Amino acid sequence: MERNHRVKWAGDLRFIGTSGSNHSVVMDSDRKTGLSPMELLLLGTGGCACIDLVMILRKSRQKVIDAWVEIGGQRREELPRYFTDIEMHFVVKGIDIKENRVQRAIELAMSKYCSASAQMAALASIKTSYTIMETETP
């Protein structure tokens, strides 16, 4: 296993995470100067699922103009305070978007392609919903 990611202390309870692709993010347990590690978990899960959603919709020839996911989670009170419940609301904006294609794309993203949501689902119940916003021009 290659160890090509690094998390380095930057004072107080702030750390700089650098990926193997040389991108960095600031993490801060007080959330004053960066994201908390748990916020990063949610954002990573949302990013992974949204990437897959858009890729699947494009392959099914849907004219996607914009897409995002609103995500939130509930954590245990006891330590370790991992997520027990996660809600993801996908929004797809486009031209003549088919509802059944969005439903199927979310299903595939969550059950087959998104590694982050599969990892989170090991300890958390994940609920999804969606909204389709029609537009006539990009």
Q: What is the pLDDT along the chain (138 residues), one digit of tens a residue?
A: 999 999 999 999 999 999 999 999 999 998 889 999 999 999 999 999 999 999 999 999 999 999 999 999 999 999 999 999 999 999 999 999 999 999 999 999 999 999 999 999 999 999 999 999 999 765
Going by C-beta distance under 8 Å and a sequence separation of 6 or more, which residues neighbour residue 62? 92, 94, 97, 98, 101, 102
Number of domains in the chain: 2
| Closest residue by Cα to residue 100 from 57, 47, 42, 41 | 57
Q: Which two tokens stand for residue 68?
A: 């995002």
- 13 and 56 part of one domain: no
Query: By residue range, what is the domain housing residue 18?
Result: 1-35
Task: Please report, for the domain that includes residue 22, its CATH number.
Answer: 2.20.25
- 42 and 1 part of one domain: no
- Amino acid code (one letter) for 15: F
Give the helix ranges, DSSP H, for 15-114: 37-59, 99-108
- 21 and 71 part of one domain: no
- 65 and 101 part of one domain: yes
